[in-house]
Amino acid sequence: MEQNMQQYLFIDFEFTMPEGKGKPAGFYPEIIEVGFVSVIDDGLGDQFSSFVVPDKFSQLTERCKRFLHISQVQVNQGISFVDLVALLKSYDQKCPTKIVTWGNMDMKVLRNNCQRAGVEFPFTGEQIDLSMEYKRFFGDQNQTGLWKAVQAYGKEGTGRHHRALDDAMTTYNIFKLVEKDKSYMKNHQPTTIGDRIDWSKVLNKLVL
């Protein structure tokens, strides 16, 4: 592992979903698409996109296919979940890595899927929920959706919403915008009342 480098991995997953609002017995969301972007020392690195074959509920519901605009054939041609975990682990082992997602569902589902598949969770570094960072920075009461957040900057999301790589790239773009704002705020502290008042004049008046 290269200790001198710092890697960020911007990740988005898409999941299976039940047909209706109620969950069938034993149902749990499984990863069926992955997209990620690696950034090492502020340089854009690899981009990866693939469908993932679900282990438990292999047949997609009509609701899932309709919502994500994907087909059963596409998912059937994806990589296995075990291969996905191995790939993610290989990136984690390259150098110290921070994982960035929009929301906390991606890591929750990944951890749950790993437990059910009997494989080790692939990440060892810090996991950052950028939606919470965004919420705290702007003082929002509610969490903001990914594409609504980027539109608040006067930008548009990359590609199509709810496609994993497009959402991962959009997350990366928001991250850069928020970090730029943080840097600006840090270097441009607001003036205090003491900066705006000439205290020598005030003291002279009081003495007189």
Annotated catalytic residues are 14, 162
CA distance 149 to 143: 9
Residue type, 69: H
Q: What are the φ and ψ backbone dihedral angles of 201, each rounded to 5 degrees?
A: -70, -40
Handedness of CA 7, 39, 33, 68 (dihedral sign): positive
Q: What are the φ and ψ backbone dihedral angles of 89, each rounded to 5 degrees?
A: -65, -35
